[in-house]
């Protein structure tokens, strides 16, 4: 009886060789060969044959389930709320007009200022009186003004004149200032403002000098009055007479 050929015997008979032996060591998982590719295999980075051309999205394209874009209305523009911390524009009792330089010199001269004096200018404008008192006589001086613009200007002038060690500029209402440290007070205000200052001026120590440009102090007789001709501070050039009044404390009220 014929024994059917084994598969090995058949392979020999057909000339196909023996089956390959089992590898000696296991192939690491990572190097397991990729499944065999068919002849028409797509290169790894190529798009699949039936893929549609990629959609070119604009950078701000919304995901497909995003709601339709709403048209943005510009925000309502409101005027800024006033900052309560910011001081309001001060209500000045008199606007700024500078005393001409030669009148400044006369005011300080008639006050007979020395380096021991303390000069207060009430409404100091650009600081010219207090600066001159320090520069010419070596006196200490304080300028008061309510207008922040004048205060800044006066402080800059003090720095420029290099008298910062003698002169201080303060933003203060002149009607709130304690005048008792002053030995000389200079004024270029108005007659009614000079009179309003009397309660403060009456507190000055004896022998203090009060000097006013152009305006009297109704009810109080000055020690003396001088007249000086000076150029107007603004063009066109115009000369006029200026007056300088001097009082020495204690102030004496005239009999009605």
Ligand X SMILES: C[S@@+](CC[C@H](N)C(=O)[O-])C[C@H]1O[C@@H](n2cnc3c(N)ncnc32)[C@H](O)[C@@H]1O
Residue 222 in contact with ligand X, rule: CB under 6 A:
no
**Given candidates 97, 112, 156, 205, which one binds ligand X under the rule CB under 6 A?**
97
Q: Which two tokens stand for residue 80?
A: 């800024």
Closer to ligand X by CB, 183 or 186: give it. 186
Q: Pick the closest to residue 119 from 101, 102, 132, 103 (CA basis).
A: 132
Q: How many Cβ atoms from other residues are within 10 Å of residue 236's Cβ?
A: 5
Instruction: Specify whether the CB–CB gap between 122 and 189 falls below 8 A.
Output: yes
Closer to ligand X by CB, 61 or 225: give it. 225
Local structure of residue 129 (DSSP, 8 states):
H
User: How many whole angstroms separate alpha carbon 228 and alpha carbon 234?
Assistant: 18
Going by their DSSP bridges, the two strands 209-213 and 239-248 should be labelled as antiparallel
How large is the angle between the packed helices 101-110 and 128-137, nearest 10 degrees?
A: 60
Residue 145 in contact with ligand X, rule: CB under 6 A:
yes
Site for ligand X in 36-75 (CB under 6 A): none
Closer to ligand X by CB, 124 or 204: give it. 124
Phi, psi torsion values for 107, nearest 5 degrees: -60, -45
Residue 96 in contact with ligand X, rule: CB under 6 A:
yes
Residue 123 in contact with ligand X, rule: CB under 6 A:
yes
Instruction: Report in angstroms the alpha-carbon separations of 57 from 60, 63, 64, 65, 141.
Output: 8, 10, 11, 15, 75
Residue 242 in contact with ligand X, rule: CB under 6 A:
no
Residue 168 in contact with ligand X, rule: CB under 6 A:
no
- Contact window for ligand X (CB under 6 A) among 26-34, 141-149, 201-209, 224-232: 141-149
**Given candidates 8, 41, 47, 92, which one binds ligand X under the rule CB under 6 A?**
92
Closer to ligand X by CB, 11 or 161: give it. 161
Q: How far apart are the first and last CA of the chain?
A: 169
Residue 120 in contact with ligand X, rule: CB under 6 A:
no
**Given candidates 111, 129, 169, 179, which one binds ligand X under the rule CB under 6 A?**
129
Q: Pick the closest to residue 228 from 106, 136, 110 (CA basis).
A: 106
Residue 147 in contact with ligand X, rule: CB under 6 A:
yes
Residue 109 in contact with ligand X, rule: CB under 6 A:
no
Residues near ligand X (CB under 6 A) are: 92-94, 96-99, 121, 123-125, 128-129, 144-147, 150, 173-175, 188, 213
């Amino acid at each position: 009886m014929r024994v059917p050929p084994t598969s090995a015997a058949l392979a020999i008979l057909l000339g196909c060789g023996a089956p390959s032996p089992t590898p000696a060591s296991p192939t690491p998982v990572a190097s397991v060969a990729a499944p065999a590719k068919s002849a028409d295999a797509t290169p790894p980075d190529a798009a699949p044959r039936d893929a549609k051309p990629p959609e070119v999205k604009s950078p701000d394209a919304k995901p497909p389930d995003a709601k339709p874009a709403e048209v943005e209305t510009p925000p309502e523009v409101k005027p800024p709320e006033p900052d309560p911390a910011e001081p309001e524009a001060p209500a000045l009792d008199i606007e700024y007009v500078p005393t001409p330089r030669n009148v400044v010199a006369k005011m300080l001269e008639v006050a007979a200022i020395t380096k021991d004096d303390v000069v207060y200018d009430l409404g100091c404008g650009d600081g010219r009186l207090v600066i001159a008192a320090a520069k010419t006589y070596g006196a200490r001086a304080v300028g008061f003004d309510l207008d922040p613009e004048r205060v800044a200007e006066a402080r800059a002038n003090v720095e420029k004149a290099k008298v910062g060690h003698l002169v201080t500029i303060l933003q203060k209402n002149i009607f709130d200032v304690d005048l008792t440290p002053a030995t000389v007070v200079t004024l270029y205000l108005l007659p009614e403002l000079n009179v309003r200052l009397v309660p403060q001026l009456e507190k000055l120590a004896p022998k203090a000098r009060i000097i006013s440009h152009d305006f009297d102090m109704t009810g109080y007789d000055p020690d003396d009055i001088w007249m000086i001709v000076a150029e107007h501070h603004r063009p066109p050039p115009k000369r006029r007479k200026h007056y300088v009044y001097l009082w020495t404390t204690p102030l004496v009220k005239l009999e009605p």
